[in-house]
Amino acid sequence: MDFSGKTFWITGAASGMGKAVSMELAKYARRLIITDRDKEGLGETAASISEMGVTVHSYMLDMAETESINDLATKVLAEGISIDGLYQFAGISQRSLVAETPLKNDRRIMEINFFGVVALAKAILPSMIANGGGQMAVTSSLVGKFGFPYRSAYSASKHALHGFFESLLAENSKNNIKVSILIPGRVQTNISRFAIDKDGREYGKMDPGQADGITVEKAAIQIVNGLRKEKKEIKVGGRELLMLQIRRFFPALYYRLATKIKPV
């Protein structure tokens, strides 16, 4: 994929990997559309992009609100903007046991991490096809490939993304639609701080393993390189990615390791 002169839409652009990827893409793109529900952080990202001489459109967007997602997509497309790449980073995690997590929390996580992501993809896909193709990327996780303690709904939402977007790719490869699924391991973002506990409140702290992860800037370089190569799965992180191989080739070892995770 040649990023030069393209228009990209990035969700979750106020912070973390979404912001870092936005800044990395601004080195090549003609125009960026950035969205997030964090007004202040979104403004800071937009200002940084503008300083690089790139046209940027920023919009407040809550991925839990399907109607707002559809309305914004309709508005952007009505302005004659052609989306070359849709890269979705917005999401929410959890830190709670299955037995103590109310179903409303599971639904909330699925609404943001799965249905919101799907809604935006569905809203943009027809125009991409009409324009001769495009690229989509969605953010899964290591635990989108296997289950993990204290992440049941989060893990389920990421598993669901694999099934949906692999299907989307299979249906639309003939339409020149490229799909990449990002599989981050430990990256220094605020996702654990904003994860919800059993009461639906913010967890409020960064996991030790995550604090030792790679920076968002390094993650962004890995992601953009993978997008440029149109990889179907883009692994992001360091040594922890070895867990993917352990789960695949040594499942008994994975199950043993998973039971030894310390309580949150």
Residues designated catalytic: 154
* Measured distance CA(211)–CA(190) in Å, rounded: 10
Q: Burial code of 127-144, b = ≥16 C-beta within 10 A, e = fewer? A: ebeeeeebbbbbbbbbbb
Instruction: Please state, in angstroms and rounded to a whole number, the distance separating the CA atoms of residues 33 and 47.
Output: 13
Q: Which of 112, 142, 93, 168 is nearest to 240 (CA)?
A: 142
- Measure the CA–CA gap between 236 and 189, rounded to whole angstroms: 13
Please give the single-letter amino acid code of residue 118. V
- The answer to whether residues 165 and 139 touch, using CB atoms and an 8 Å cutoff, is no
Longest dimension (CA), the chain: 54
CA separation for the pair 224, 11 (Å, rounded): 15
Other Cβ atoms closer than 10 A to 210: 18
**Radius of gyration of the chain from its Cα atoms, rounded to whole angstroms:** 18
